[in-house]
Amino acid sequence: MTLWKHKEQIGECTLYCGDAMAIMPELEKVDLAISDVPYALTTGGVSKSSKTMSGIFASHNYANDSQLIMATVPFPEMMAAIYDVLKRDADCYVMANDKNVHPLTQAAIDAGFGFHNLLVWDKVTPTANRWYMKNLEFTIYLWKGRARTINNLSAKQLIRGGVDKVSGHPTEKPVYLMAEYIGNSSQQGDVVLDPFAGSGTTGVAAVGLGRKFIGIKLDERYFEIACERIRAAYRQPDMFSTVLDQIEQEAMI
Ligand SMILES: C[S@@+](CC[C@H](N)C(=O)[O-])C[C@H]1O[C@@H](n2cnc3c(N)ncnc32)[C@H](O)[C@@H]1O
């Protein structure tokens, strides 16, 4: 019996449809892990009536207690599995909202990672909230083994740029954000892993930068969407000449 429902090879990308926690221990060791990991989201003060809105506010995304439903994996097990699948010296980026930054960082340190920096994405369009609108998301930047210098020494903590909405995934990240981290912590031909790849954004960025990619998606719908996005990325090899120009960075300090 295989551990995955489907496996698709597209160019230098290997996409699995299945449970990342079951598949990660079976993988070859990778050069970089980068993932927008799953966790339960709260409504952040948005009234229940707002759930009639489309996208992330759609009613099917909510349980009865108004918690957003996303499949979750305990952070300690998640970070230990990611640590184990990385090569001896490697970087790791995990994304979290404000409420999950602390427990996710603690789980990463407990798994053996070193903490480099807290990176910030200003998505410009804020999410409604009664206690300050939320326009920021966070990326915990970690290392395993020997700490390595990033490729672009001018890179700053803050990246500002709009959201992408091409896949229909409720938490789709922009390609330029994943490209920034992949470009800084890997080389051409390296293997990049996103164990919670959702609609495949990290894979699109990896293809654009000439990296190999391994992505795991739990559900079949987004597996198909991710495969199609990655095929499209191979058909558009020069996409980063324009995408990277759109990144606007500002120093936080
Ligand atoms: C925050 S989303 C990632 C979205 C992605 N950054 C994008 O741009 O589309 C996390 C994804 O992990 C998936 N997920 C949850 N548990 C999983 C598991 N055990 N194995 C693989 N994927 C899982 C969720 O279904 C969700 O699509």
Q: What is the pLDDT of residues 48-84, one digit of tens each?
A: 444 333 344 444 344 444 444 455 799 999 999 999 9
**pTM recorded for the entire structure:** 0.87
Domain spans, the chain: 4-38+73-251, 39-72
Any idea what the Cα angle at residue 19 is, between residues 223 and 224, rounded to 5°? 5
Q: Is the shortest distance between the CB of 145 and ligand 1 below 6 Å? A: no
Top mutation candidate among 121, 176, 218 for ligand 1, by most atoms within 8 Å of CB: 218
Residues of the chain under the 50 pLDDT cut: 43-69, 246-253
Residue pointed to by tokens 């326009």: 135
User: What is the CA(85)–ligand 1 centre distance, in A?
Assistant: 18
Say what the pLDDT of residue 244 is: 52
Q: Is the shortest distance between the CB of 19 and ligand 1 below 6 Å? A: yes
Q: Is the shortest distance between the CB of 36 and ligand 1 below 6 Å? A: yes
Kindly report the CATH number that applies to the domain delimited by 4-38+73-251. Answer: 3.40.50.150
Phi, psi for 145 (deg, rounded to 5) = 75, -120
The whole-angstrom separation of Cα 162 and Cα 247 is 9
H helical segments located in the chain: 20-23, 75-85, 98-111, 175-185, 201-208, 220-235, 240-243
Top mutation candidate among 196, 214, 223 for ligand 1, by most atoms within 8 Å of CB: 196
Say what the pLDDT of residue 150 is: 98
The whole-angstrom separation of Cα 240 and Cα 179 is 9
